[in-house]
Amino acid sequence: MLRPWVLYSGQLVCSVEEDSCSQDKTYIISSNPDVENSEGQLSREIFPEVHISPEFAYLSKEFTLSKLPAKRIHISPFVPSEANFTGLIQLLQQTPDTYKTLMDGKPWSDKELLKVFRRYYKGVGNTISLLRSSIRTGVGFPWNPSFDMCYVVYAYDLDGEKTFIGRCGFRYEQDNAPWGTQVFYAFSPQYWGSGLGKKVGAFLKQQWVQIFNTQRQGYLRGMVQAGKNPASARVLESMGMKRKLDLDGSPVNVKVTEWNDALYSVWEYPLDVLTTEKLKNKLVKEERIRDCANRESKVRIRGMV
């Protein structure tokens, strides 16, 4: 058992067990016994270490931002680590400018954080298993109504020091089934206005179109606090989403009961957008193949003259 550390909230403690043979770690998160907990005893959660093999490198992306040339941004799937746990707690519980744009606008409780850790951990594991299955069968990612996928976002400076700056991904709400799979994202305020949101939005759209929705069995939507978060709405617009409209053409706003009736606007792709883009990518690929074949044919003909 390695030394336990107190997570950022002060209410939770994480301990680490390391296997003496494999050196793999297991993260154990529980209530801090030294702090009185108003929520009552929280459940103890166990998160074995996850290793994502190189064959799934396409689930990660690295890029730079023109407004922050000294920073290198890296997106990768969530895996248990001290940096990821503390980064998520700081973002969702200790950063008012960020958490006020999410759910009911309040800081996330320890109970909610443990729940989301469990969802992210289980979601990434399920996603990897389903992707392996799709590779083996060759039929594309099998649609799963419990599909969740979370990515963490880090910024690296010129010295290689990394800083947790956000999280993003996909979430399917069974209790909110008419809205299908929702895209989500949240970033540190220091990176607002840097172009990070649009870059992350482009990454999520690419992941959805090329990996997770190849069988076109699901729908991707976004939800933004109505009238309160124009920057988030611009990210959805950059992904090609449009405001969902009623039959009379009025924008759709929904009250989310579990978030204290917070009012959210709904964004979605027009029915033909993803199909059109997928077809366009296919046609471009086929044209490149034809061009290569034509060039090879011309080379052979010149060689015969």
- Residue ranges covered by each domain of the chain: 2-270
pLDDT at 1: 45
Average predicted confidence (pLDDT) for the chain: 81
- Judged by average pLDDT, the poorest of 184-198, 243-257, 289-303 is 289-303
Neighbours of 181 (CB within 10 A): 20
Instruction: Name the pairing type of β-strands 253-256 and 181-187.
Output: unpaired
Tell me what the mean pLDDT of segment 103-111 comes to.
89
Tell me what the mean pLDDT of segment 210-228 comes to.
80
Distance CA 304, CA 298 (A): 10
- State the pTM of this model: 0.82
Half-sphere exposure of 34 (CA within 13 A, CB side): 6
Nearest partner of 140 among 55, 209, 54, 241, judged by Cα: 209
Q: Is the pLDDT of residue 128 over 50?
A: yes
Residues 6+ apart with CB under 8 A from 106: 99, 100
CATH superfamily of 2-270: Gcn5-related N-acetyltransferase (GNAT) (3.40.630.30)
DSSP state of 250: P
Distance CA 49, CA 19 (A): 11
DSSP bridge pairs for 182: 171, 221
Q: Is the pLDDT of residue 299 over 50?
A: no
Q: Is the pLDDT of residue 54 over 70?
A: yes
